Amino acid sequence: MGRFITLLMGALIVGGLAYYTLKGANPLSSKADVQAQQGLQKVRNEAKRIEEDSQRRADEGVKKADPVEVGQPSE
C-alpha cells in the first residue's frame, strides 16, 4: 500500500510539473492574464504607431512627387 501511494504521489507531481511547464504559468493566477493583456496592448499600440508612421511617409512622398496635385506651382 505504501508503494502504491508513493507511486501515485510521484505521478501527480510529475503530471503537475508537466502541466505547469506546458501552460507556462499558474492557471489559477490572474497575474498571467493581466500580463498577457498588457503585452497585447503594447503590440496594438506599436502596430498603430507603425501604421501612422507609414501613412505619414506615404503622404510626404506623394507631396514631393507631384507638387501640382497639392496646389503648389511647379518649378
- pLDDT tens-place string over residues 12-68: 999 988 888 887 666 566 666 778 889 899 999 999 999 999 999 999 888 888 666
Q: How far apart are the first and last CA of the chain?
A: 97
Domain count, the chain: 1
71 inside domain: no
What was the pLDDT predicted at 30? 66
State the residue range of the domain holding 6. 2-65
Is 58 a member of any domain?
yes
Residue 4, amino acid:
F
| Residue 75 located in a structural domain | no
Asked if residue 73 is part of any domain, the answer here is no
Task: Give this prediction's pTM.
Answer: 0.46
In-domain check, residue 54: yes
The reply to whether 59 falls in a domain is yes
In-domain check, residue 18? yes
On whether residue 72 sits in a domain, the answer given is: no
Per-residue pLDDT, 50: 95
- How far, rounded to the nearest angstrom, does the alpha carbon of residue 17 sit from its chain's CA centroid? 25
